[in-house]
Amino acid sequence: MIEDKIIIIKNLSKYFLLNNKIKWVIKDINMEIKEGEFIVILGPGGCGKSTFLKILCGIENQSSGTIILKGRKFEKNKSHDIYKKFGFVFQNSNLLPWRTAEKNLSIVLEIQKLESQKWKSRIDEMLDIVGLSAYKKMFPHELSGGMQQRLSIARALVNNPKILLMDQPLGSLDAITRKILGLELLKIWEKTKKTIIMVTNNVDEAILLGTRIFVFTSLPANIKDEVEVNIPFEEKDSNIISNKRYNEIHKYLSRVIRSI
């Protein structure tokens, strides 16, 4: 059951200096995320969604506000070990072209000095979960775009992080592959039970994947609305567009986005 709050975000804000002037990117974001949720951040392009993810995992620091991760409070600077709690999937797979599929996963374990037999078997486990066991010896250029992105997801999960952050992971794929991989991503979430926070600007994708959707405004980003996607998991399939609740949420979200 989803019980514990894994992340609490209080008044999170970020600005950059542009020509000696403050430019706010996100301002006063408040959010609570329970363990095992699939959270989707939905909003227009360039509204600060990616910056929000980077602050969460420690790639960037917030200008103000607090992040509480499993009881640990982070304000300005985050300790280095916070990186190990997150897996990150980018829009492009960013795989190392000179490494095979299994070696692309092992690079994470090598960097974190997790090279015991236990962790080596974890590589096979993750390749199996994303359906790539038969391709472990292949190089990225020998895999399709969808397979490369599945491999990228496996790499992000191989060190068993607490939270998976995904920055428009399906955005670079063609429409058919995007739909197929979206359904596969649901299965990966069900198998791994991870907390996932994903950014997208696609309403259909948000409803298919999310358990809750936060709609961000344009810059400076704040939460315009929060929508619970109360569609049973077993109804999230290739026929979801005929689901009554799906269409109700889609209509509502489209109206919210038009008002931004």
**Torsion over CA: 171, 175, 176, 180 (sign):** positive
> How far apart are the C-alpha atoms of 109 and 116, rounded to whole Å?
9
Indicate whether this model's pTM tops 0.85: yes
pLDDT beyond 60 at 1: no
Mean per-residue pLDDT over the chain, rounded: 90
Was domain 5-258 assigned CATH 3.40.50.300? yes
Residues 6+ apart with CB under 8 A from 260: 43, 44, 215, 217, 218, 224
Averaged pLDDT, 12-23 = 90
Phi, psi (degrees; rounded to nearest 5) at 75? -115, -85
Dig out the tokens for 146 from the structure: 């969808």
Of 27-31, 101-105, 159-163, give the lowest mean pLDDT range: 159-163
In 3D space, the residue among 148, 166, 142 whose CA is nearest the CA of residue 156 turns out to be 166
pLDDT in tens, 32-91: 999 999 999 998 888 889 999 999 888 888 999 999 988 888 877 666 667 778 899 988
pLDDT beyond 90 at 199: yes
pLDDT in tens, 94-127: 899 999 999 999 988 888 877 667 777 889 999 9
Say what percent of the chain tops pLDDT 90. 67
Residue 90: per-residue pLDDT: 86
Question: Reduced to 3 states, what is the DSSP secondary structure of residue 238?
Answer: coil
> How far apart are the C-alpha atoms of 256 and 77, rounded to whole Å?
35
